[in-house]
Chains A and B, each alone.
Chain A
């Protein structure tokens, strides 16, 4: 995946680390030995018997060493919106955030509904040699929700999974056929659930706050109805469906029941939905305008609970860069979405710091779990796996602000928030691509 270097990578020993691997259940003093682009050995107590003479030694000084983060949902802006983000700026933000693999959404311009665009994005990202980028393919041609895209040809040219991005497939027959066709080849469809006719014109969660602010509301039912409908379609077709950005208490109830019945559904959410509620909008803060909208406190708590009890399978950044021109507007006119690559780790660790989940479980949500959902060879430290690592201090605090973020756009919904969890070093295919400047 990475660019070939002139000098061979050789062997590198990451010593004196607290080794964390949710896939193996490891949490203890140990290290990782890499050879070239692969992991040669890893585990607690790895170098207890002595350090290898022929390896370059990197002293982790007791920091946490874990598999690199896997983010299954990011908008990268390229091709089409390079003023907001490029593959290069997104790659720097991702590596700064400890993200070593990510899936990018197909709502680019042109959109990723054709083999040539899959190959374009994958090749450009590969040449950069930063975070590994796997494109999603569109479910429907031109993301229009009408005709199924060439799912299998897209898959065979490199698309890992399929989604129409933030667009919901409103026509149930189209989704039925897409699920049925996709299940022919065992493909995963990711769906953002928001009934467009109920959400139309809305700019924030429907409730007391939307009334007070005088903003048009999006009812929670817009999400719930689609999830309930989709569960029926999954049962009918046997298709594999993953709900993204789940945000209401009832959504997770429906998904919990579907899972209990053995249906092939999974879901994720993004940090804003378990760390923020609609009050973050405050006095019309457009950085808090997201899709789906931030919900009320009851929903936020339900997300935390659903993560802790496993109904929510993983956490994605939902990185959505918007430039100043798109956000410095009256709330209703402002673009939706927030960046998230660099806050994915600290915001997920907040669940651990607040006592909701263990440190290993928090890491699992952004490593093993998403990698397993997408059948990627990532998110674990098994010998032979790509040497994708993140070294971080889970306790060190920093403040989210535009001057420390690497993303080209600075629209973080967590802007100004003190967080804990700092990435010290990011390694991709055995090569250090980011180190924290102390």
Chain B
């Protein structure tokens, strides 16, 4: 449990909308809290009561299975009431605006809204219209903070640190909110980040985010401790970013031959869902010793429990007057 008077100073934010702007101490605090839940989640009795009486609404304007499930489990294991709303199928089709949806839900007095939206900035806009805490579960190509936190927790548990590590983020950086959140987190924590992709998939002025950009996979992987593959988001691609999957995989896919350019014990990560044979070879993805892809999923629940706990803690305590 977080003690009552320290929580707000350790993480003095009402929402978790992004990683950009968080301090190393705040990130460390989130990771340390997450760490405590990893062990708990491995017990038979996973239930706690820190969210008892609290309502968490998973508000997903974009299809999601793993992230929504992860937040749902996190909320339930902390004893909260969790409701899933997939808006793509209901109000949005009837023409209700994002702000109207937010106001409607706000009237139901939720404590935490977990929001995913296809538009960058939509979660921020929504957070300005509600009284509760908001967690960004992914907005457009902007941020996905809990993914970056779970990646960092995975790395820290495996290698004991973040500072000084060489991390390669490979693939469709242009469309990736995961990449942006990871760039902010890793550079804030003192890791060195490289982006590896064809020029068409590297966002404009990427170097200004404090990373190195490579267009040759073998060269970019050299001396890397972590190889983080991104999913090729073909559903977001409105124009020619690469000619074909076979060409993409030939030059930017991760197989053992390509992986040999990284450090011999480099870890393989992927935020999922994977396109096997598109950005990553199955054998590599399933490597028992070096692939930590399933571990990332496990850490996800712990990170989301910590985020829910901390934000709920920062809310006004439940009293008769504000009920």
Asked whether A148 and B246 contact (CB < 8 A) given A180-B200, A181-B199, A181-B200, the answer is: no
* A152-B250, A185-B251 given; 19 more Cβ-contact pairs under 8 Å: A141-B243, A146-B240, A148-B240, A150-B244, A152-B247, A153-B246, A153-B247, A153-B250, A173-B240, A174-B239, A177-B240, A177-B241, A180-B199, A181-B199, A181-B200, A181-B241, A181-B242, A184-B200, A184-B215
Smallest Cβ distance from A235 to chain B, in angstroms? 13
* Contact call A148/B199, Cβ cutoff below 8 A: no
What is the bound-complex CA distance between A146 and B240, given in angstroms? 8
User: B residues within 8 A CB of A151?
Assistant: 243, 247
Contact for B199 among A150, A173, A184, CB less than 8 A = A184
Interface size class of B (residues with CB under 8 A): 10 to 19
Report which of A150, A180, A183 forms a contact with B243, defined as CB distance below 8 A.
A150
Q: How far is the CA of A181 from the CA of B198 in the complex (A)?
A: 6
B240 cross-chain contacts in A, Cβ below 8 A:
146-148, 173-174, 177-178, 181
Residues in A whose Cβ lies below 8 Å from that of B215: 184-185
CB–CB A183/B199 < 8 A? yes
Of B199, B242, B243, B251, the most chain A CB neighbours within 10 A belong to B243
Interface SS of chain B = loop
**A-to-B contact residues, CB < 8 Å:** 141, 146-153, 173-174, 177-178, 180-181, 183-185, 237-238
Which of B239, B243, B246, B250 is in CB contact (< 8 Å) with A149? B243
Residue with the highest number of chain A CB atoms closer than 10 Å, among B200, B241, B251: B200
Question: Chain A: interface secondary structure?
Answer: helix
Q: Which of B232-275 contact A (CB under 8 A)?
A: 239-244, 246-247, 250-251
Q: Would you call A173 and B239 a contact (CB within 8 A)?
A: yes
Q: Are A148 and B198 in contact (CB under 8 A)?
A: no
Give complex CA distance A151, B241 in Å. Answer: 12
Residues in A neighbouring B199, C-beta threshold 8 A:
180-181, 183-184, 237-238
Chain A residue nearest in CB terms to B252 = A184
Q: A141 CA to B200 CA in the complex, in Å?
A: 17
Complex CA gap A183/B213 in Å reads: 14
Asked if A152 and B251 make an inter-chain contact with CB atoms under 8 angstroms apart, the answer reads yes
| Chain B residue contacts of A152, Cβ below 8 A | 247, 250-251
Assembled-state Cα–Cα distance A238/B247 (Å): 22
CA distance A147 to B240 in the complex (A): 6
CB distance from B253 to the nearest CB of A (A): 13
A174: chain B residues at CB < 8 Å are 239-240
- Tell me the chain B residues, 84-143 only, with Cβ under 8 Å from chain A: none
Whether B250 lies near A148 (C-beta < 8 A) is no
- In the assembled complex, the Cα of A103 lies from the Cα of B9 at a distance in Å of 69
- Distance between A143 CB and nearest chain B CB, rounded to angstroms: 14
Query: What CA separation (Å) do A238 and B213 show in the bound complex?
Result: 14
Residue of A nearest to B241 (CB): A177
Known: A181-B199, A184-B215, A237-B199. A150 touches B247 (CB 8 A): yes
Residues of A within 8 Å of B251, CB to CB, are: 152, 185
